Chain A
Amino acid sequence: MTRGFLGRRRTARPDRLPPGQYDAGSAWPTLTAEATPRLDLDAWRMTVDGAVESRQEWTWSDVQAMPGSSYVGDIHCVTTWSKFDMTFTGVSVDTLLEAARPTAAARFVMAHSTTGYTTNLPLEDVTGGKAWVVWSVDGKPLPTGHGGPVRLLVPHLYFWKSAKWITRLELMARDRPGFWEQNGYHDRGDPWLEQRYQGDP
C-alpha cells in the first residue's frame, strides 16, 4: 500500500475496464516508436506469406473491394489508457487468411509495418473474428498518427499488437519476438491478465 494514496473516485469504475487501466474518455493518445511514415497508397501492398499454401498480395483497391467487416468496442493500451466504444472498419483477417490458407504447421503470425515495426501473435488471436485490417475509425479515414491509412486491429490484446501501417502478415510455425517483444514486452499481451511485460503471467 502506498502511504497517503487514495486514488481517483472510482465508484463508477466500469467492469469493462481491465486491471490497471483508466478510461481515456474522448482523448485518443498516440504512441509510436518510429517517425510517422509518408505512405504512398498506390505503392502499398498487403501481403500474406510464410507458412501458407498460397502467398497472397493485394493492392489498396483490392482490399477495399473485399467484404467489409467492422469492430465496435473497446481498445486497451499497455501505457494504461483504455478507450470505449470505438468503431473500426476494414476487412477481417479471416478473409485474408482464407485466401492464403495457412499450412497445418502455422501457429503464429508476425505482423510487419512499412516502417519495419513488427509484432508477433499466436495464430488463434487473429482468427475467428478477433482481428481486422482497418482503414476507418468512427466513420472517418484512419489518421496517419493512429496508423492510417491502414493498420492491424486486434482489440482483445494490448494495442501495440495492433501494428500501425500494416503491410504484411507472415505466418510462422515457431514464435519469434517482434519489436516491443524484443524490448521487454509480453509475447501475448492480454489486458485482462495484465500481460504487459516479459515475465508477467
Chain B
Amino acid sequence: MAAPAGDWTTGTIIELDHPTDRLVRLRLHVDDRVDHLPGQHYVVRLRAPDGYTAQRSYSIASDPDDPLLELMVECLPGGEVSGFLHDVAEVGDVLELRGPIGGWFVWEGDLPAVAVAGGSGVVPLVAMARYARRLGLQDKLRIVVVARTWDDLPYAAELQRYGAFIALTRENVALENGQSRVAAPPYPDEMKAYVAGAERAYVCGSVGFASFATRLLEDAGVDTDAIRVEQFGETG
C-alpha cells in the first residue's frame, strides 16, 4: 500500500515552546492536511524577501489523530532552518510545508516491532508510541532510546511512561524499583526482551548512532532484512 503523500501547503504555528535550550516544539494547524502514518515527515520551507528558500525535513511527533501537527526540532549549530525555528519563529507565523512524506519508515501497527532511536531521532518513535497507545497496541511496539543525558532526550518523561527502555551514556537512570541503571550504551543482553518476537525493527538517529544501533540489533538476533533505518547526517 502506498503511504499518503501531501503536496505543498501552509501551516500556522498555534503553539511553540522550548522544552530545553536546544529544542523547539512546534504545533501547527496545517491547511488541507493529509493524514500521516506514524514515522513520516514533513518538509519545512522558509522563503526570504528576495525569493531565496531553504528547506529541511523534520519527523512528525504527533499522532495522526491529533488535530495539530507536532514537530520537535533540534537546533543545530549554524542551522539555517532549525536556527530560525528556534530563535525567530512565533505563534501565528505561517510556514510553507510539504507532507506527509516517506512510506518506508512507517509503522501502522500491523507487525510487532522494536524501535531504537538516539537523541532527537526519537521524534518519529513518539508518533508511533502515541498511535500505539491510542489504539491499545503498546504490546506490539517496544521502544529503546539512547541519549547522553536526560535533558538531551526529547520527550524523555513521555517515553518513560510508555515503558521505553532508556539508556543514558553520561548519566545514571533512576528506575521504578528504586535502583538505577549505570551510564552506558545499551548492551545486547538488555535488548533481548525488547527484540523478542519483533518482525520489524526501526532505527533512527545520527549516522554514527544508526550504525551502532543496527549492529546492536543484529547482535541481539534481529534479521538484517527486518531493519529499517532513518538517519540524519552532519548537514548543519
Q: Please report A residues at the B interface, Cβ cutoff 8 Å.
A: 1-8, 10, 19-20, 22, 24, 27, 29-37, 79-81, 116, 145, 179-180, 182-184, 197-199
Evaluate contact between B95 and A2: CB separation under 8 angstroms.
Answer: yes
Chain B hits for A31, CB < 8 A:
231-233
**Cβ contacts under 8 Å, B55 to chain A:** 20, 80
- Is the beta-carbon distance between B80 and A8 smaller than 8 angstroms? yes
The 7 A-B pairs with the shortest beta carbon distances in the complex, nearest first, are A29-B233, A183-B103, A184-B5, A35-B214, A5-B46, A7-B48, A4-B88
Q: In the complex, A1→B54 CA distance in Å?
A: 12
Please judge, given known A-B contacts A33-B104, A34-B229, A145-B211, whether A3 and B235 are in contact too, CB under 8 Å. Answer: no
B170 at the interface (CB under 8 A from A): no
Decide if the interface of chain A is mainly helix, strand, loop or mixed: loop
Q: Does B227 contact A (CB under 8 A)?
A: yes
B188 → A minimal CB distance (Å): 15
Query: Chain B interface residue count: which class?
Result: 35 or more
B225's nearest neighbour on chain A, judged by CB, is A116
**A5, B94: Cα distance in complex, Å:** 12
Contact A29 to B207, CB < 8 A, known contacts A2-B95, A8-B54, A80-B56: yes
Interface string of B92-121 (1 = CB under 8 A from A): 011110100111110000000000000000
Using a CB-CB cutoff of 8 Å, which residues 158-178 of chain B contact chain A? none
Can you pick out 6 interface pairs between chain A and chain B where the beta carbons lie within 8 Å of each other?
A5-B47, A5-B54, A20-B54, A27-B235, A36-B214, A184-B102
Q: Within 8 Å of chain A (Cβ to Cβ): is B7?
A: yes
Are A7 and B102 in contact, with the CB atoms below 8 A? Answer: no
Closest beta carbon of chain B to A111's beta carbon, Å: 17
Known: A31-B233, A34-B228. 15 other contacts (CB 8 A): A1-B47, A2-B93, A4-B88, A5-B46, A5-B48, A22-B54, A32-B210, A34-B227, A34-B229, A35-B218, A35-B229, A81-B233, A182-B103, A184-B101, A198-B5
Q: Mark B197-224, 1 if CB is under 8 A from A, else 0.
A: 0000001000100110010001000001
Residues of A within 8 A of B56 (CB): 80
The residue in A29, A35, A182 that gathers the most chain B C-beta atoms within 10 A of its C-beta is A35
Output the least CB separation between A36 and chain B (Å): 6
The verdict on B57 contacting chain A, using a C-beta distance below 8 Å, is yes
